[in-house]
Amino acid sequence: MSLIAILLAAAAPASPPVPARVTQLLERSPIIDGHNDLAWEIRERHEARVEALDLSRDTAALPYPLQTDVPRLRRGGVGGQFWSVWIPADTTGPRAVEMTLEQIDIVRRFVAANPTAFALATSATDIREAQRGGRIASLIGIEGGHQIDGRLSVLRQMKALGVGYMTLTHGKSLAWADSSTDAPRANGLTAFGRQVVAEMNRIGMIVDVSHVSDATLAAVLDVAVAPVIASHSSARALADAPRNIPDDLLRRIGAAGGVVMVNVYPAFLSSAWRAWDRERTAFGKANGLATDAYGPKAPAPLVAWDAAHPMPRVTAATVADHVEHIARVAGRGAVGIGGDYDGIGGTAPEDMAGVDGYPRLFAELARRGWNDADLAALAQGNVLRVIERVGAVAASQKGRPPIDATALN
């Protein structure tokens, strides 16, 4: 969070207490969050020293603060987490596969280091069993098709290692699928791209359409026989970011039984915040400054710029606007939570600074009239339905042989 946000939060009236109704609901139906980048933060900011990082304590005050730890997951009502095993989009070839394995290892290590808090999960049954035991179900998602190096054999082995979904692209287009933030190469999906989707459906891996271009998303919906997720995306009608999803595709995702899991990155929630951040980035680049740090850890000239240019406010109410928009367009069965914490540069809505902030969102939606059944579906019911349906589709294709195909990235 930026220094301005901290000052605004300090000056603003305290948030009202979370109603007991919301606390009790999240105890019964804890959140299954679609996306968290803790594994990369551990690698980059903590030298992959998993065992030296005590996630059983609050990590907000570390020299390199995190937005995630066990106490805050508990306070946030999180009972299931897809941990992203992201690697940079410009890492390709065999090294991309190696680095993905290293990230999977980090997830498995911090789960093993906290056995009373976490339990690995690969199915809806596993998730429910973990929650009954008071543990946070820990699932794995690959964030970019570059991580399989154009090989369906690698995709299958990632599934065997417990990977539950793959985001088809990250920030760069591939030869077989296009990113929302890069020039198109495939103009949707190539023949190999369609084979990737078909093989994911066959083996029971969820297709994740966050980051993909509109043309690629439409092409996925044309060929997929199992519902998809957008693990960390919001509504483009409310914030015009390429990563967000337009209404026509929201409708199609909902009609196909899929789920859009709302992101909490301010740049995807607020066009005003996004414009402010563009100006901040331009100032930083013009002065040779790194712009990926916010608040007092940013370079001094940026701290001064922040003080002179008040940041637009983004709160739990802003997140609720996106949840409600997606629900209106695609149906309340088509919306979930995918915060992207620890992958958003330390930024967040001012009253949702870490994973413990989710009850504020649910309290806001309850204030707007959401009933307990719809809140429980938002928390976990909708994504559990997708997980179960993806598994059922795979079971129905059990007799089909693997697709033997490769492609150059």
Per-residue pLDDT of the chain (409 residues; tens, 9 = 90+): 333 344 334 444 567 889 999 999 999 999 999 999 999 999 998 888 898 899 999 999 898 899 999 999 999 999 999 999 999 999 999 999 999 999 999 999 999 999 999 999 999 999 999 999 999 999 999 999 999 999 999 999 999 999 999 999 999 999 999 999 999 999 999 999 999 999 999 999 999 999 999 999 999 999 999 999 999 999 999 999 999 999 999 999 999 999 999 999 999 999 999 999 999 999 999 999 988 888 777 889 999 999 999 899 999 999 999 999 999 999 999 999 999 999 998 999 999 999 999 999 999 999 999 999 999 999 999 999 999 999 999 999 999 999 887 775 4
Give φ, ψ of 338 to 5 degrees. -145, 75
Catalytic residues: 35, 37, 143, 170, 211, 232, 340
Q: Which residues pair with 262 in a beta bridge?
A: 337
Identify the CA nearest to 250 among candidates 323, 183, 178, 201: 323
Burial 61-73 (b: 16+ CB within 10 A, else e): eeeebbbbbbbbb
Q: Give the Cα-Cα-Cα angle 128, 321, 344 (nearest 5 degrees).
A: 70
The Cα 83–Cα 40 span in angstroms is 10
Question: Quick check: 211 and 181 in contact, CB under 8 A?
Answer: yes
**Per-residue model confidence (pLDDT) at position 280:** 95
Element (H, E) at 83: strand 78-84
**Per-residue model confidence (pLDDT) at position 293:** 81
Token readout for 13 is 């009236």
- Contacts of residue 245, Cβ cutoff 8 Å, sequence gap at least 6: 209, 217, 230, 233, 234, 235, 236, 253, 260
**Per-residue model confidence (pLDDT) at position 408:** 58
